[in-house]
Amino acid sequence: MASVAAASTQPIRASLPLSSWRINGARRVVAAARRIASPPFISPVSRPYGSGCVPLFGHPWRLQSKRFGPALSIRCFSALSPEMRSTLDKVVKSHTVVLFMKGTKDFPQCGFSSTVVQILKSLNVPFETLNILENEMLRQGLKEYSNWPTFPQLYIDGEFFGGCDITVEAYKSGQLQELLEKAMCS
């Protein structure tokens, strides 16, 4: 009798090969994860991306509460306020070449920003830089302003030119030099 009780308390994996235990164990973990629908009080909202919402945890979310009735939506807001837009307009139009980057001219904190700075310095072009790491609202607002998700962002003669890849390609083809010469002459 004692041997039967001892045998039944042994873990299942002792009787199964290791590969079988890994597969079945993984299935149990997946099954347990499926039973957990979502974190409490939070459920996904069926809202398309690009609708002006700042996503939380990678998705727009809606708070639900049994105590307070129907779901309460989190307000979607634009980081690009009218004041921010006018400030960015002034900065971009007051300088011939403006680079919004991570870090500064002298100490870029991103390889892509460093590449664009080196290109502009090699062309002996006077340019202004703004460090987007100092202000999160500036960073988010600029993404909406230019409709470009990444940094650095280069503006030439008041217009958005592109990011690092576009700048490198234009530099290699000679298009960037021509555009900068025209901008400096006007």
Calculate mean pLDDT across residues 5-17.
Answer: 49
**In 3-state terms, what secondary structure has residue 98?**
strand
- Residue 13 pLDDT: 47
Could you report the per-residue pLDDT of 108-160, keeping only the tens digit for each? 999 999 999 999 999 999 999 999 999 999 999 999 999 999 999 999 999 99
Count of H-run helices and E-run strands, the chain: 7, 7
Calculate mean pLDDT across residues 79-85.
Answer: 86
Q: Given the DSSP bridges, would you call strands 153-156 and 159-162 parallel, antiparallel or unpaired?
A: antiparallel
Dist. CA 164–CA 114, nearest whole Å:
9
Burial of 98 (0-12, 13-18, 19+ CB in 10 A): buried
Residue 102 near residue 113 (C-beta atoms within 8 A): yes
Q: Check whether 8 has a pLDDT greater than 90.
A: no
- Residue 121 pLDDT: 96
Dist. CA 185–CA 178, nearest whole Å:
11
Domains and CATH numbers, the chain: 22-77 (no CATH), 82-185 (3.40.30.10)
Residue in this structure with the two tokens 């230019």, named with its chain if needed: 146
- Taking the alpha carbons at both ends of the chain, their separation in whole angstroms is 98
Of 45 and 137, the structure prediction assigns the larger pLDDT to 137
Q: Check whether 70 has a pLDDT greater than 60.
A: no
- Residue 117 pLDDT: 97
Calculate mean pLDDT across residues 66-76.
Answer: 48
Of 6 and 56, the structure prediction assigns the larger pLDDT to 6
Record the tokens describing residue 74, joined without a space. 């989190």
Dist. CA 176–CA 173, nearest whole Å:
8
- Residue 80 pLDDT: 81
Q: Where are the beta strands (DSSP E) in 25-96?
A: 42-44, 61-63, 72-73
Of 29 and 142, the structure prediction assigns the larger pLDDT to 142
Cβ neighbors of 171 (< 8 A, separation 6 or more) are: 119, 123, 177
Q: Check whether 102 has a pLDDT greater than 90.
A: yes
pLDDT tier, 103 (very low <50, low <70, confident <90, very high otherwise): very high
Of 116 and 16, the structure prediction assigns the larger pLDDT to 116
